[in-house]
């Protein structure tokens, strides 16, 4: 079989769902043609392969390229000053009610051009790419009015032209109440009647998200956004039960959401509803850590009910200024007690599932994009165990 490239003498963590654990293949080989995997398995079982580009991996580990399935990567300004306020004892909610929080990033983002949004996102994206990220989800949600929401989404899509990476965009108009509006129902009318239809028509967003929380929007208001998303054929996901239990996870599941995210305050009923609907849990330990939350998400219930678990950075300037997916993996294990296998699956196969992209990415299997991360490690646990150390040897995107 003629292939473009192959990598041999490697240990593969295939993350195949039909194999136990990480789907490890000891003496492994991966072959690629036209950007997709044509073989991933033991060298002994490989078909005859002709190629001009053979790479000896010298026993290194290969995982699927990492996927950050929940980020607010595109925004202007920063919230370092607020960080100092919180160090002085203000809670995240007090800062939000004092007009700080999301709204202060909104002002900076509204004032930024598309080029400025791209330029300020690139260093954050490069930090993730340096750790082997090959696909990322990026939300809007700092415009809270149509032109800036669209500009954020266009900037997010432009990142695919600036770097070799796969970007999925999410419309998060229902992120917070904009400074010029005092009436949440009126703003949700604007989101549903003006913003969402235009964003859907322009094809700028792959899915729709909302923030279901006391300092944001109620389950009823979120339901209106989700009904409008459904009318436009867009999948939904939800920032749910982060600071309190408003039944957000169950609400997301009832709308067949791809995922419910955060989930610190989700209860057994919420986990059951997610399991019935096939809605994934996206855990965001960076936000839990940064706002010093103490309520842990119900990981044991997710395991028992077989709710798939993904892990992401939630990179955003207010509650998770985190641009290291390896650190998010360590936090998921250290803080949420995920196993090494769950943490690695959480940023590969399950993150792909959370984006509805499992057909194309997230495991090392024939037919999938040849997105690889090649690591200088002796065992996969090192990817989760170490803090602030990046053992990436090479990142391959679409075979290159």
- CA torsion, ordered 397, 116, 124, 342, to nearest 10 deg: -70
Stretch that binds Fe ion, among 26-34, 52-60, 242-250, 310-318 (CB under 5 A): 310-318
Are the C-beta atoms of 85 and 97 separated by less than 8 Å?
no
- Within residues 174-193, the interface with ligand DI6 by CB under 6 A covers 175
Number of chain residues interacting with ligand DI6 (CB under 6 A): 12
Distance in Å, CB of 116 to ligand DI6, minimum = 18
Q: How far apart are CA 196 and CA 99, in angstroms?
A: 25
Q: Does 286 bind ligand DI6 (CB under 6 A)?
A: no
Q: Which is nearer to ligand DI6, 39 or 290 (CB)?
A: 290
Beta-strand runs (E) in 308-347: 309-311
Stretch that binds ligand DI6, among 146-154, 305-313, 315-323, 362-370 (CB under 6 A): 315-323
| Structure-token pair, residue 207 | 């899915």
Are the C-beta atoms of 273 and 249 separated by less than 8 Å?
yes
Stretch that binds ligand DI6, among 47-55, 97-105, 159-167, 191-199 (CB under 6 A): 97-105
Q: Which of 14, 319, 324, 348 binds ligand DI6 (CB under 6 A)?
A: 319
Distance in Å, CB of 319 to ligand DI6, minimum = 4
Q: Which of 102, 192, 322, 354 binds ligand DI6 (CB under 6 A)?
A: 102
Q: Does 110 bind ligand DI6 (CB under 6 A)?
A: no
Q: Which of 14, 63, 105, 273 binds ligand DI6 (CB under 6 A)?
A: 105
Going by C-alpha positions, the residue among 393, 399, 396 that lies closest to residue 378 is 393
Q: How far apart are CA 96 and CA 291, in angstroms?
A: 12
Q: Which of 68, 228, 314, 365 binds Fe ion (CB under 5 A)?
A: 314
Q: Which is nearer to Fe ion, 216 or 234 (CB)?
A: 216
Note the helical H segments in 27-162: 80-87, 92-97, 102-110, 114-129, 146-162
Stretch that binds Fe ion, among 8-16, 84-92, 175-183, 311-319 (CB under 5 A): 311-319
Q: The tokens 């080029």 sit on which residue?
A: 115
| Structure-token pair, residue 72 | 């607010």
Pick one of Fe ion, ligand DI6, none as the site partner of residue 319 (Cβ within 5 to 8 A by kind): ligand DI6
Going by C-alpha positions, the residue among 229, 150, 218 that lies closest to residue 187 is 218
């Amino acid at each position: 079989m003629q292939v473009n490239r192959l990598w041999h003498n490697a240990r593969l963590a295939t993350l195949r769902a039909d194999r136990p654990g990480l789907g490890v293949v000891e003496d492994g080989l991966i072959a690629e043609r036209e950007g997709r995997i044509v073989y991933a398995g033991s060298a002994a079982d490989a078909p005859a392969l002709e190629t001009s580009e053979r790479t000896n991996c010298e026993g290194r580990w290969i995982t699927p390229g990492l996927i950050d399935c929940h980020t607010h990567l595109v925004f202007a300004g920063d919230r370092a000053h607020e960080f100092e306020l919180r160090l002085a004892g203000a809670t995240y909610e007090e800062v939000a009610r004092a007009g700080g929080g999301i709204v202060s990033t909104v002002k900076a983002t509204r004032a930024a051009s598309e080029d400025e949004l791209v330029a300020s996102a690139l260093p954050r994206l490069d930090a993730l790419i340096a750790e082997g990220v090959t696909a990322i989800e990026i939300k809007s949600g700092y415009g809270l009015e149509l032109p800036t929401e669209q500009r954020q989404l266009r900037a997010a899509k432009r990142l695919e032209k600036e770097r070799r990476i796969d970007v999925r965009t999410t419309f998060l108009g229902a992120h917070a109440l904009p400074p010029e509006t005092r009436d949440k129902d009126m703003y949700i009318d604007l989101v549903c009647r003006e913003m969402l239809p235009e964003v859907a028509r322009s094809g700028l967003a792959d899915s729709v998200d909302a923030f279901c929380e006391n300092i944001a929007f109620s389950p009823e208001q979120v339901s209106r956004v989700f009904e409008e998303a459904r009318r436009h054929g867009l999948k939904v996901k939800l920032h749910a039960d982060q600071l309190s239990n408003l039944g957000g996870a169950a609400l997301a599941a009832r709308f067949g959401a791809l995922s419910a995210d955060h989930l610190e305050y989700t209860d057994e009923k919420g986990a059951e509803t997610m399991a019935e609907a096939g809605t994934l849990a996206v855990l965001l330990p960076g936000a839990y850590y940064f706002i010093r939350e103490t309520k842990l998400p119900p990981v044991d219930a997710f395991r028992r009910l077989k709710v798939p678990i993904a892990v992401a950075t939630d990179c955003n300037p207010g509650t998770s200024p985190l641009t290291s997916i390896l650190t998010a993996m360590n936090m998921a294990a250290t803080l949420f007690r995920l196993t090494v296998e769950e943490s690695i699956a959480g940023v590969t196969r399950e993150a792909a599932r959370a984006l509805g992209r499992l057909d194309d990415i997230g495991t090392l299997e024939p037919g999938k994009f040849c997105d690889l991360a090649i690591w200088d490690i002796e065992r996969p646990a090192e990817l989760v165990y170490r803090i602030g150390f990046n053992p990436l040897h090479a990142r391959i995107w679409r075979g290159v």
